[in-house]
Structure 1
């Protein structure tokens, strides 16, 4: 009887050991799967200057941005909110999506003589933080303003800019021309269809939300207050080009980001239909 009982006990202990081993292997496999998934994701740094707009509108766009980031699981997103009002009760978004990391920091104090370039110091502050936090990392950076609406497809596309500057169209919901877009053949840019054609023309006629750049290419490159109004984007890109950044690839002809500019009473009234742009400013 004692021999039978001992045998049963041994079999039970063996089953417990096997169950524990399988459970441990399952947990290890799950962790390795998560790490593998994170390793496959491209790292994207998103810099968003925020302003003292109406709280409901501001909360709407930031919440919309976060939801679209959460819906995009193909990029490891590090979002820097350079906030003019850090105490504003906008959701912190912390720990709600494992691939979206949110950092809110106070904006630099405003300068009385720089009103034409509001947000410039915000972007420079975001770049400084990003270069410090992601030194040596293979990352892209995207300047995503808080007066745009974003498709979830925009984030993994922008993350591909870790090795060279990438461009795409941007829609203008409140403008009759509809959109700005690079003119290209097989990804090689010949010019830009744009609603803003100053004299002399811009070399890169694109909105801030229409491109992403390699983060490491921005070392010692900043936005400057002496640059003329409407030329921040082209001056910044020209500076990167002078320093050897690879330029000119177009990743998509789809409009995945829309500039809304708060021109109407309520964001729910905006239409998502964006006609093709009509004006071509050649480089």
Structure 2
């Protein structure tokens, strides 16, 4: 076992599956992960889960865009061996179109859960949006753990630029603008994976929310926090390193029972069990 894995296991907190954790001595990273059923979900969630197993002092909030919890997601959360909440945040019928995008209803449900369980507490922590199809260098989590208000850092593999990043002044070390493929009318032109928010700062902003508007979720959320650009904290060596990537898993087809049944004597092989296990994850 490598040192990173060993260290993370040594720092695991005791927890009850599905229940909040309170530990005033630790700075917890609350990772909000929206997810939904699709052929690549198991691969994406497994990759993220095994990354998070290397990170100590986290709380994983997984929110499904569904009306019922899936057993495959619950089983994966239990295998991760980290505190977690398994929630449901289905999109409302009025926001099923492409302009509304995915993930907002999930994140809003996570906001509710955090407020329900951590308002009026002194728990130290950081909130981070960890989408299930991104790739993470584990160093990014320690970078963000010291966030006092809102920290920011570059994200790789973003559209035509190949990255999205705050612009940092060499002289002052402060964030002075943004370099992103889509600036639009955004005050904060950042990717969802490119910032973290202090837990207590978030909880004190009672009106903090996120809109159902593709391309503007991050900007509106940050503006709803009332944060100003001079308060932003650059991480990742003053935003000179990429430690998170906006990867996208290639869409794939799900296994089809009709194709399995074309195999001669398939009932006498492993195929029925394999297909059943795969389809159970969808």
Instruction: State whether TM-score is above 0.5.
Output: yes
Query: In the aligned structure 1, how far is the partner of 2:113 from the partner of 2:230?
Result: 23
Query: How many residues get paired?
Result: 221
* CA contact 1:164–1:245 (8 Å) conserved in 2: no
**How well do the aligned residues superpose, as a CA RMSD in angstroms?**
2.9
Determine the structure 2 residue equivalent to 1:58.
41
Are the equivalent residues in 1 in contact too, given 2:34–2:103 (CA < 8 A)? Answer: yes
Normalising by structure 1, we get a TM-score of 0.68
Distance 1:208 1:108, change over 3 A: same
Distance in 1 separating the partners of 2:229 and 2:32:
20
1:232 equivalent to 2:225? Answer no
CA 172–185 in structure 1, closer or farther in 2 if over 3 Å, else same: same
Q: Does 1:124 align with 2:108?
A: yes
1:1-283 alignment runs, 5 A limit: 41-54=26-39, 57-73=40-56, 76-85=57-66, 86-90=69-73, 91-94=75-78, 96-97=80-81, 100-115=82-97, 116-134=100-118, 135-161=121-147, 163-172=148-157, 175-185=159-169, 187-198=173-184, 200=185, 202-219=186-203, 220-225=206-211, 228-241=213-226, 247-252=231-236, 253-263=240-250
Q: Evaluate the alpha carbon distance shift between residue 81 and residue 213 of structure 1 in structure 2; reply closer, same or farther with a 3 A threshold.
A: same
Q: Which runs of 5+ in 2 are unaligned?
A: 1-9, 14-22, 254-282
Residues 208-260 of structure 1: CA distance to partner in whole angstroms, max 9, x if unpaired? Answer: 110000122223234344x6431111111112125x79731111122111112
**TM-score w.r.t. length of structure 2:** 0.69
Q: Which has the larger radius of gyration?
A: 1
Q: Structure 2: how far apart are the matches of 1:254 and 1:184?
A: 12
| CA gap 1:222/1:240 in 2 versus in 1, 3 angstroms | closer
- Taking a change above 3 Å as real, the CA distance of residues 224 and 44 of structure 1, as seen in their structure-2 partners, is closer
C-alpha separation in 2, matches of 1:240 and 1:123: 15
Structure 2 CA distance for partners of 1:40 and 1:95, relative to 1, 3 Å: farther
- Aligned-partner SS, 2:214: coil
Contact 1:171 1:178 in 2 (8 A): yes
CA distance in 2, matches of 1:141, 1:89: 25
Structure 1, unmatched stretches of 5+, are 1-32, 267-283
Distance 1:185 1:130 in 2: 34
